[in-house]
Amino acid sequence: MKKLGDMLLERLPFSELVMGNTGVVRGMVEAGIRVVTSYPGSPTPEIAAAIADIPVEKRPFYFEFSVNEKVAVEVAFGAAMNGRPSVVFFKSVGLNVAADTFVQLNHMQIPGGMVVIIGDDPGAHSSQNEQDNRHLARLSYTPVLEPASPSEAYSFFLEAASLARKQQMAVMLRLTTHVCHAKERVSFAGWKAETPDDSPVFSGESGANIPIGANVALMKKRALERLSSAKNTSLHRVLSHKNSERGVITAGLPFLSLMDALQNSEEKPDILKLGMVYPINEGIVADFLASHREVLVLEELDDFLEQAIKSISCTLGADTTILGKSSLDDWIGEYTPARVKEKLNRVWPGVVQISRLPYETIQTPARFPQMCPGCGHRSAFYAIGKALGENDISVADIGCHTLGFFPPYEIGQVLMSMGASTGIGQGLSLFNSERRVVAFLGDSTFFHAGIPGVINALFNKHNLTLIVMENGTTAMTGHQNHPGTGRNFSEAADRIPIRNVLQGLGVKDITEVDTYSQADLTAAVVKALDSPGFSVVIAKHPCMLKFTREQRRKQSFKAKHVEVDQEICSLARVCIDRFGCPSFNWNPETREVVANPDICIGDASCIQTCPAAAISSFTSKEVSR
Amino acid sequence: MPGCSDKLLHFKGGVSMNIYITGVGGQGIGLLSEALLRALDRAGLAVKGVDTHGLAQRGGVVVSQIRTGSGEFSPLIQPGMADLVVALERHEAYRALNGFLRKEGTLVYYDTVQQPFNVRNGSVPEITVETLHNECRRRGVTVFRVYRDDLPNPRMQNTALLKVILDQSLISELTSRHLEEAMEDLLTGEALKANLKILSTT
């Protein structure tokens, strides 16, 4: 197999087994996209991973991880205003951060055209909600294409890019988690690799892009006109099963779930699969309604299509019965094949066979995500836990350190959104002299959305302790660089140290501690909590997962482990019950705590937690892979 | 559908095999499933796959799903419909057996244990080999327990499982040649050599 980066630049048509996120990158290459921006967030970061596989000098477009989604949209918009076809991609809730700029996009005439790729997350696999971003598209007059598979992610991207360029507008490609991460063999077209026309076409004439006064109405009208002309896409499909009684209107991954659910059905309904879910094509929907007695609208999350289809039906005066969401549960979670079967069975009993689900005789123990062996956050939460009183309030934020919520640490009692902890902590501290407040913030998040909260704390003299959990990377989403790391996506860049930023802003009380120095960290937090006003503790330790992976790559990895001396162990079980490293297993038969060499990395941060000093570390003979 | 192999056009459409792969984040489930997926693709099957990414990769339950067949279908396997469960850890073997394996299906698991927190702290019992195998019997499931003390590195437990899948012909279309080629797609240098050695040793 060729290297992924070479394959993405292949001149001749080819096919390859790829995930949806990779498919859209080939789309970017073929479509002649010139500028791509993003902020990392699941389910989309593998788009950047595929881009990273193309060496910078061969990359046919510029790519950056911007500091946050709003800036990413702005950079892509600026480039497109100068005639560069651009793309911005990020996760579902990233659109909230970007919204102030995003909602304006289609008021503008955008010469290069823009594709906004959104990774929505039905089922909230790695997001704080499962928001349905079709609503924000509607609010901003942005057309939405919704692919069901990697093949469609690629071909719909090309359609979106072509529409965006032709209409000089922004178009949304709405992916969902299991479209981003699904893998199949995709057939790609050739790539001509034409020299791009980089003439700077930006025009500032006659205030056409200044939404002030009467211009706003003109710009809004222009947006509505373009939206309406976007409807004539050829991406819709009708699958006829010659059923004039029953039809299903669906889109995206639920379509594939429906195909699965109907596999052995003897009364298959006809299916209208919408490729563009906003604006809806009234003509196609009206024809489908007219030719069926009952139509089920099958859509994940909110009743977006259902409302539009009911409205079309109402205007037509059609006597088709429209079935849609019938319980609150229908609004929640992913429409997997099993869910769709269950839904079909409720709507049209007997259309599909529901097999009896297996049952458990003994319940499987629940397994929560947890910090990796050696994670600096574990030492941090263990040490900070000792500094916090029963009554103190802890505010969580987004990142690996969110996992501090789980036992045994249970630190972080409210979690909102990126960088929100600092502001929330300030509010909690008002009219509150009894309960001390501590807020947590990751380092990438500090740059992303954390700084305004810090300035507010200083400006309005709030009483709060902020703990910056600095691991030197954007860990949860796959170790992307951020402004504090000294490297951007493509090259070295001057490091912006968090401490310097804080000092520059005028924070007086700053303590920096390596989290492995657990006693020092406890002392620093005790002191910060006791001092009035705004104080910051930077609890730092490099992400050990990134560190060990890099060592393995460089073949410099030395396998180390810890072991428990059973003669000395007093069964205080601090390593398990309070420190909570997953490397320690409990053997109920021998009543022994044993370190699991399969996962222990020998970081030795546990040694200091053992009251009996029974843990020691050693270098193993393991061969590196 | 683009991407469908021509060889399979005689299928009327539908799924012919569901493979559910599971373990704990960090165990190499991604490599195992990508190798299987690529090997089956090389064997000429139309395959679909999907992996867990994001939050769960941090020590949580990680799942990969592979489906072979033709026509249009979801990458997601329905509960109780997997033909084969491949598990890298005993608790996850038990969870997938209960949740996803069909009656009379096949389970192959690597017998290592990463205790979930509630097991470690003693509040619920560990799933033992006996519990797991009893449950397999009750469901008519064929079970293969894999454990090797000759692995140079615990990170090769995934390849040890692939070896058993191959040797026991648990996926009829899988050949050692295709699997080795898939490994060559995914690994290089010493890592490739070490893993190929596990596959080729009898």
Write out pLDDT tens, residues A585-618.
999 899 999 999 999 999 999 999 999 999 999 8
Contact A367 B38 (CB under 8 A): no
Owner of token pair 């211009």? A215
Query: Residues 571..590 of A with a Cβ closer than 8 Å to B: which?
Result: 573, 576-577, 580, 582, 584-586, 588
Quote the tokens at residue A36: 């791509």
Which pLDDT score is estimated for A358?
65
Residues A426 and A503 in one domain: yes
Amino acid at A336: T
Amino acid at A615: I
Q: Which of B66, B74, B127, B133 to mutate to test the interface with A (most CBs of A within 10 A)?
A: B74
Contact B153 A624 (CB under 8 A): yes
Query: Residues 400..439 of A with a Cβ closer than 8 Å to B: which?
Result: 400, 403, 406-408
Asked whether residue A427 is domain-assigned, the answer is: yes
Instruction: Give the minimum alpha-carbon distance from B168 to chain A in angstroms, rounded to a whole number.
Output: 26
- Out of A358, A361, A400, name the one closest to residue B58 (CB): A400
CA proximity to A378, closest of A592, A600, A168: A600
Contact A183 B37 (CB under 8 A): yes
Q: Which of A22, A183, A300, A477 to mutate to test the interface with B (most CBs of B within 10 A)?
A: A183
What is the spatial distance between Cα A369 and Cα A222, in angstroms, rounded to a whole number? 48
Q: Which of B11, B22, B58, B147 to mutate to test the interface with A (most CBs of A within 10 A)?
A: B58
- 10-residue mean pLDDT series, chain A (625 residues): 90 97 98 98 96 97 98 98 97 98 97 97 95 98 98 98 97 98 98 93 82 92 95 91 97 97 94 97 96 98 98 94 98 97 96 80 91 97 97 96 95 97 98 96 97 98 97 93 96 97 98 98 97 96 94 83 96 96 94 94 96 92 52
CB A31 within 8 A of CB A157: yes
Instruction: Give the minimum alpha-carbon distance from B167 to chain A in angstroms, rounded to a whole number.
Output: 23
Tell me, what's the ipTM?
0.95
- Fold classification of B6-200 (topology level): Pyruvate-ferredoxin Oxidoreductase; domain 3 (3.40.920)
Closest residue in A to B23 (Cα–Cα): A367
Residues A210 and A338 in one domain: no
Count helices and strands (H / E) in chain A.
Answer: 21, 23
Q: What is the pTM of this model?
A: 0.95
- Out of A263, A371, A584, name the one closest to residue B58 (CB): A371
**Which domain does A34 fall in, by range?**
4-229
DSSP of A416-471:
-STT-HHHHHHHHHTT-SSS-EEEEEEHHHIIIIIHHHHHHHHHTT--EEEEEEE-
What is the mean predicted confidence (pLDDT) over B138-148? Answer: 97
DSSP of A332-399:
SS---HHHHHHHHHHHSTTSSPPPPPP--SSPPPP----PPTT-HHHHHHHHHHHHS-TT-EEE--SS
Which residues does B22 contact at the CB level (< 8 Å), separation at least 6? Answer: B29, B61, B62, B63, B64, B85, B86, B87, B88, B89, B92, B93, B95, B96
Q: Bridge-partner residues for A311, per DSSP?
A: none
CATH of the domain at A589: 3.30.70.20
What does the pLDDT look like over B33-85, one tens digit per residue? Answer: 999 999 999 999 999 999 987 666 788 999 999 999 988 899 999 999 999 99
Instruction: Give the minimum alpha-carbon distance from B24 to chain A in angstroms, rounded to a whole number.
Output: 9
Residues A247 and A225 in one domain: no
Asked whether residue A353 is domain-assigned, the answer is: no
What does the pLDDT look like over B99-129, one tens digit per residue? Answer: 999 999 999 999 999 999 999 999 999 999 9
CB A602 within 8 A of CB A617: yes
Closest residue in B to A592 (Cα–Cα): B120
What is the spatial distance between Cα B20 and Cα B66, in angstroms, rounded to a whole number? 6
For residue A575, list chain B residues with Cβ-Cβ distance below 8 A.
none
User: What angle is formed at CA A384 by the lines to CA A378 and CA A389, rounded to 5 degrees?
Assistant: 140
What is the spatial distance between Cα A279 and Cα B145, in angstroms, rounded to a whole number? 54
Percentage of the residues of chain B whose pLDDT score is greater than 70: 92
Which pLDDT score is estimated for B5?
35
CB of A197 less than 8 A from some CB of B: no
- All structural domains of chain B with their residue ranges: 6-200
Residues A300 and A158 in one domain: no
What does the pLDDT look like over A408-425, one tens digit per residue? Answer: 999 999 999 999 999 999
CA proximity to A475, closest of B119, B55, B73, B71: B55
- Out of B46, B74, B77, name the one closest to residue A256 (CB): B74
CB of B118 less than 8 A from some CB of A: yes
What is the spatial distance between Cα A308 and Cα B126, in angstroms, rounded to a whole number? 52
Asked whether residue A163 is domain-assigned, the answer is: yes
Which residues does A563 contact at the CB level (< 8 Å), separation at least 6? Answer: A595, A615, A616, A617, A618
Contact A42 B58 (CB under 8 A): no
Question: Which helix (H) or strand (E) covers residue A274, if one does?
Answer: strand A270-274
CB of A333 less than 8 A from some CB of B: no
The mean predicted confidence, pLDDT, of chain B is: 90
Residues A270 and A302 in one domain: yes
For residue A582, list chain B residues with Cβ-Cβ distance below 8 A.
59, 114-115, 117, 120
Closest residue in A to B2 (Cα–Cα): A187
What is the spatial distance between Cα A497 and Cα A470, in angstroms, rounded to a whole number? 11
Which pLDDT score is estimated for B3?
33
Which residues does A178 contact at the CB level (< 8 Å), separation at least 6? Answer: A253, A334, B50, B74, B75, B76
Residue B202 Cα distances to B156, B166, B174, B177, B196, angstroms: 16, 11, 17, 15, 12
Query: Is B7's pLDDT higher than 90?
Result: no
Asked whether residue A368 is domain-assigned, the answer is: no
CB A414 within 8 A of CB A406: no
Query: Is B6's pLDDT higher than 50?
Result: no
CB of A550 less than 8 A from some CB of B: no
Which residues does A128 contact at the CB level (< 8 Å), separation at least 6? Answer: A93, A398, A415, A416, A417
Contact B58 A580 (CB under 8 A): no
Number of domains in chain A: 4
Residues A177 and A198 in one domain: yes
Asked whether residue A553 is domain-assigned, the answer is: no
CA proximity to A584, closest of A574, A573, A593, A571: A593
What 3-state class would DSSP assign to B189? helix
Contact B152 A622 (CB under 8 A): yes
Query: Residues 11..40 of B with a Cβ closer than 8 Å to A: which?
Result: 13-15, 24-26, 37-38
Residues A210 and A243 in one domain: no
Closest residue in B to A544 (Cα–Cα): B58
Query: Residues 590..609 of A with a Cβ closer than 8 Å to B: which?
Result: 596-599
Residues A104 and A190 in one domain: yes
Which residues does A280 contact at the CB level (< 8 Å), separation at least 6? Answer: A231, A274, A305, A308, A309, A312
What 3-state class would DSSP assign to A511? strand
Owner of token pair 């200044």? A210
Asked whether residue A552 is domain-assigned, the answer is: no
- Out of B13, B59, B195, name the one closest to residue A582 (CB): B59
Query: Residues 159..178 of B with a Cβ closer than 8 Å to A: which?
Result: none
Residues A58 and A180 in one domain: yes
Q: Bridge-partner residues for A171, per DSSP?
A: A115
CA proximity to A492, closest of A56, A154, A197: A56
DSSP of A237-271:
EEE--S-SSEEEEEESHHHHHHHHHTTT-SSPPEE
Residue A244 gets the label, from left (phi > 0), alpha (psi -120 to 50) or beta, of: alpha
CATH of the domain at A316: 3.40.50.920
CB of B196 less than 8 A from some CB of A: no
Contact A555 B155 (CB under 8 A): no
Amino acid at B190: E
Percentage of the residues of chain B whose pLDDT score is greater than 90: 80
For residue A178, list chain B residues with Cβ-Cβ distance below 8 A.
50, 74-76
Residue B36 Cα distances to A44, A210, A275, B32, B74, angstroms: 24, 55, 32, 6, 18
Residues A245 and A215 in one domain: no
What is the spatial distance between Cα A293 and Cα A305, in angstroms, rounded to a whole number? 18
Query: Is B14's pLDDT higher than 80?
Result: no
- Out of A361, A588, A596, name the one closest to residue B114 (CB): A596
Domain boundary among the residues A201, A229, A257 is at A229
| Mode of pairing for the β-strands spanning A560-564 and A592-595 | unpaired
Closest residue in A to B66 (Cα–Cα): A183
CB A264 within 8 A of CB A273: no
Residues A201 and A81 in one domain: yes
CB of B104 less than 8 A from some CB of A: no
Domain boundary among the residues A509, A528, A547 is at A547
- Out of B3, B71, B194, name the one closest to residue A187 (CB): B3
CATH of the domain at A18: 3.40.50.970
**A-B C-beta contacts closer than 8 Å:** 219
CB B78 within 8 A of CB B93: no
Contact B190 A624 (CB under 8 A): yes
Closest residue in A to B157 (Cα–Cα): A598
**CA A595 to mean position of chain CA atoms:** 34
Contact B49 A184 (CB under 8 A): yes
Amino acid at B127: I
Asked whether residue A361 is domain-assigned, the answer is: no
Contact A596 B122 (CB under 8 A): no
Residues A224 and A241 in one domain: no
- Out of B56, B127, B194, name the one closest to residue A623 (CB): B194
Contact A151 B3 (CB under 8 A): yes
What is the spatial distance between Cα A47 and Cα A24, in angstroms, rounded to a whole number? 7
DSSP of B67-85:
EEEESS--SSPPTT-EEEE
For residue A586, list chain B residues with Cβ-Cβ distance below 8 A.
115, 119-122
Asked whether residue A624 is domain-assigned, the answer is: no
CB of B78 less than 8 A from some CB of A: yes
Phi and psi of A172, rounded to 5°?
-95, 135
